[in-house]
Structure 1
Amino acid sequence: MRLLLDTHLLLWWLGWPQRLPAAARQAVETADQIYVSHASLWEMAIKCSLGKLTVDLQALCRQIEVDGFEWLPISAPHLLAVAALPPHDDHKDPFDRLLVAQALTEPLLLLTADAKLARYGSVVRLV
């Protein structure tokens, strides 16, 4: 199984493991490959610059590699796939939409605790 971690699960895995749902821990521990999107790094960088998140991004990047996770760059096909996603009035987060598009394009299974993402179908696993 090839997983793409959403930003919250990544943060919980790396810094707050007590928040990580047991199903998420099991999925990560049994996955063949685990990806972290550059979109998640971008989202965290923005939140850090706005004072909404306090995390050492350099250390986070090092830990991702230590844990054996792989970076997933943002590509043109990923961005084009965002345009094909159905709109939802109650959820317009551009980073989440990009993660869904990446999961569809690669294909990967997006692991998330965000129930609003489950509506995108079998490409999303809610934990």
Structure 2
Amino acid sequence: MRLLLDTQMLLWALNDDPKLTLQARKAIRDAQDRIVSSVSIWEISIKRSIGKLRIEGDPIRFARAAGCAPLSVTWSHGDIAGALPAHHSDPFDRLLIAQAQSEGLTILTADRAFWQYDVDLI
């Protein structure tokens, strides 16, 4: 399985948060490919800079150390995100969903809004 961690899952993994379930930990451990989108790094950086997020550690360094591959945003991802049904207004999440659809990825998320989209989820 090619697994795309959403931003919250990346943060929970980074901080070894107990909210990261055993199922999520197993999915991360067993994934053929662990992927972190530039969207998640961007979201973390923005929220950190405006004071909405305080985290320990560097998410890029953590993702690399965990063997995660980066995923950049393409024009196609942007186009798909713009065409998604309006179930969810968060632009970061919409881009993650578009990337997963375009690249054939499974998203690891705790966000119930993702379940309204045609995308593989854990």
Note the C-alpha offset of 1:12: 0.4
The one-character-per-residue Cα deviations of 1:4-55 (angstroms, maximum 9, x if unpaired) are 0000000001113311012111111110001000000111111011101112
Q: Structure 2: how far apart are the matches of 1:94 and 1:49? A: 18
User: Which residue identity lines up with residue 18 of structure 1 in the other structure?
Assistant: P
In structure 2, what is the equivalent of residue 74 of structure 1?
Answer: 73
Q: Secondary structure at the match of 2:4?
A: strand
The 4+ residue runs of structure 1 with deviation greater than 4 A are none
Which residues of 2 match residues 27-66 of structure 1 at below 5 A?
27-55=27-55, 59-66=58-65
Aligned Cα root-mean-square deviation (Å) = 1.3
- Worse-superposed segment, 48-57 or 74-83: 48-57
Note the C-alpha offset of 1:78: 0.6
Q: Structure 1: how far apart are the matches of 2:39 and 2:100? A: 12
The one-character-per-residue Cα deviations of 1:35-85 (angstroms, maximum 9, x if unpaired) are 00000011111101110111256x221111111001101111110111221
What's the TM-score once normalised by structure 2's chain length?
0.93
In structure 1, what is the equivalent of residue 113 of structure 2?
Answer: 116
In structure 2, what is the equivalent of residue 105 of structure 1?
Answer: 102
Q: Structure 1: how far apart are the matches of 2:50 and 2:108? A: 26
The gaps in structure 1 that reach 5 residues or longer are: none
The number of residue pairs the alignment matches comes to 122
The gaps in structure 2 that reach 5 residues or longer are: none
In structure 2, what is the equivalent of residue 125 of structure 1?
Answer: 121
